[in-house]
Structure 1
Amino acid sequence: MNIRLAELRDIKQLIKMRWDNTIEFDEGKKDENYEEFEKECQTFLENAINSKQWFIWVAEDNEKIVSHIYIELIHKVPRPGRVTHPFLYMTNVYTIPEYRNGGIGSKVLSSINHWIKVNKFEFAIVWPSEEAINYYKKNGYVHCTEPMEYIPS
């Protein structure tokens, strides 16, 4: 198993995984237009991989991506009297069904946790589903109170 950052050559697999992840948890989306989604996702992933704002971690087995975690770097506004470090927003965590429950997701998360420490990011946040809370807890994450949000109507 190879754990690494995604590259442009991975885009087709990442698009398919994003589609499969959505369909798996929301079957009502299976009638959506794959070609439209593919075009939009292709543009997003090209920009993300070429940026210094997104980091897409993947686990691959014989050149097949079997798990991924997307991370967006969030820069904070500097504050007098203290060094400001960016924090991370983690999203789109997914392992294909036939590779689940074998510790692959935890290995990817462990690599990310090490990377967070080495790069001195202030913290990482993730909004897990109810089913995923224990996965994060066993990997060193603390369940905190929900943030506040504003949804324009």
Structure 2
Amino acid sequence: MDSYKFPLTHSPWRMARWLISYGIMLCPAFSKANASREMLVTAEGDMVHNLWQDIFYIPNPTMAFVGTPLQVTTFYLFDFQAQVVARVFAGKAYLPAQDVMRKEYEDRLAYRGTGWDFYSLRKRGAEQDYVARLVEWMNKDAAVTGTEYMRGHT
């Protein structure tokens, strides 16, 4: 995928074929209980599967999703997530190995279960903890790459 344009003017079916041709698994016939390691969205439509840190698609981390956490200070958090994505894509922060991302995701899945609650940060301090984890990761890599340190939004 050196370069591509997303076909915004095409029908939903044509867009789905385009997405699948790039290895993105949209599986409306499968339930979340049967989601595989490659699936992204299942029939329920209430969860995006296989994202590390609620952002990076584990099977292909060049695909990032900003805005998956629920019950948050939306604009601040999503802007912060976009800054994280920009640093990773610019080579100023590094993703862990795929097996590490997979283990963290599966541990969280076992603890939180599937559905809307998986991405909910409604508990007191949950959003701040999430941001603190991302800041710690960004600043650990900033020390290596010589990038400016990052501060959280809250």
Q: Note whether the superposition's TM-score is higher than 0.5.
A: no
> Normalised by the size of structure 2, how large is the TM-score?
0.28
Structure with greater proportional strand content: 1
Q: TM-score, normalised by structure 1?
A: 0.28
